[in-house]
Structure 1
Amino acid sequence: MLNKINLENVLFLDIETVPETPTYGELDEVRQDLWEQKTQYRRTEGVTAEEYYENAGIWAEFGKIICISVGYFHQKGSQRQFRVTTFHGEEEKILKEFRQLLDTHYGHSKYLLCAHNGKEFDFPYIARRMIVHGIPLPEKLNLFGKKPWEVPHLDTMELWKFGDFKNYTSLKLLAHVLGIPSPKEDIDGSMVRAVYYEEGDLDRIIEYCVRDVITVAQVFLRLRNEEQLSEGEIVYV
Structure 2
Amino acid sequence: MIFNIPSKQILFIDLETVPEFESWEDLPERTQILWEKKTQFQRKEDISPEEYYYDKAGILSEFGKIICLSCGLIIDNKIHIKSFYGSDEPQILNDFNTLLNSNYFTTNLLLCAHNGKEFDFPYLARRMIINQVKLPPILQIQGKKPWEIPHLDTMDLWKFGDHKHYTSLDLLANIFNLPTPKDEMDGGNVAHVYYKDKNIEKIRSYCEKDIITLINVFRKMRYEEPLERE
TM superposition score category, shorter chain reference: over 0.9
1:129 counterpart residue number: 127
* CA separation of 1:29 and 1:151: change in aligned 2, threshold 3 A: same
Deviation by residue 1:114-141 (Cα, 9 ceiling, x = unmatched)? 0000010001101000000111110110
Verify: 1:30 aligned to 2:30, yes or no: yes
Verify: 1:49 aligned to 2:85, yes or no: no
State the shift of 1:110 in Å. 2.1
* CA separation of 1:67 and 1:184: change in aligned 2, threshold 3 A: closer
1:86 to 74, 83, 88: 83
Verify: 1:227 aligned to 2:228, yes or no: no
Structure 1: distance between partners of 2:103 and 2:80: 14
State the shift of 1:106 in Å. 6.4
Structure 2: distance between partners of 1:198 and 1:183: 22
The amino acid that maps onto 1:32 is: Q
Partner-residue secondary structure (3-state), 1:14: strand
Structure 2: distance between partners of 1:140 and 1:106: 15
The amino acid that maps onto 2:211 is: V
The amino acid that maps onto 1:204 is: K
Deviation by residue 1:176-195 (Cα, 9 ceiling, x = unmatched)? 11221225621100010111
- Within 5 A, what are the aligned runs for 1:72-151? 72-75=73-76, 80-89=77-86, 90-105=88-103, 108-144=106-142, 151=149
- Within 5 A, what are the aligned runs for 1:193-212? 193-212=191-210
The amino acid that maps onto 2:219 is: L
- Within 5 A, what are the aligned runs for 1:6-25? 6-25=6-25
Structure 1: distance between partners of 2:48 and 2:148: 42
State the shift of 1:52 in Å. 0.9
State the shift of 1:100 in Å. 1.3
State the shift of 1:27 in Å. 0.3
The answer to whether the 8 Å contact 1:140/1:152 transfers is: no
Q: Normalising by the residue count of structure 2, what TM-score does the alignment of the two structures yield? A: 0.94
Verify: 1:188 aligned to 2:189, yes or no: no
Structure 1: distance between partners of 2:3 and 2:74: 14
Gaps of 5+ in 2: none
The amino acid that maps onto 1:39 is: T
Q: CA RMSD in A?
A: 1.7
State the shift of 1:148 in Å. 7.1
State the shift of 1:109 in Å. 3.0
* CA separation of 1:149 and 1:195: change in aligned 2, threshold 3 A: closer
Structure 1: distance between partners of 2:143 and 2:119: 20
Deviation by residue 1:51-89 (Cα, 9 ceiling, x = unmatched)? 1111200000000000100110112xxxx2110110012
Aligned length: 228
Structure 1: distance between partners of 2:182 and 2:192: 19
Q: Normalising by the residue count of structure 1, what TM-score does the alignment of the two structures yield? A: 0.91
* CA separation of 1:142 and 1:218: change in aligned 2, threshold 3 A: same
Gaps of 5+ in 1: none
Structure 2: distance between partners of 1:106 and 1:124: 24
The answer to whether the 8 Å contact 1:16/1:65 transfers is: yes
Partner-residue secondary structure (3-state), 1:121: helix
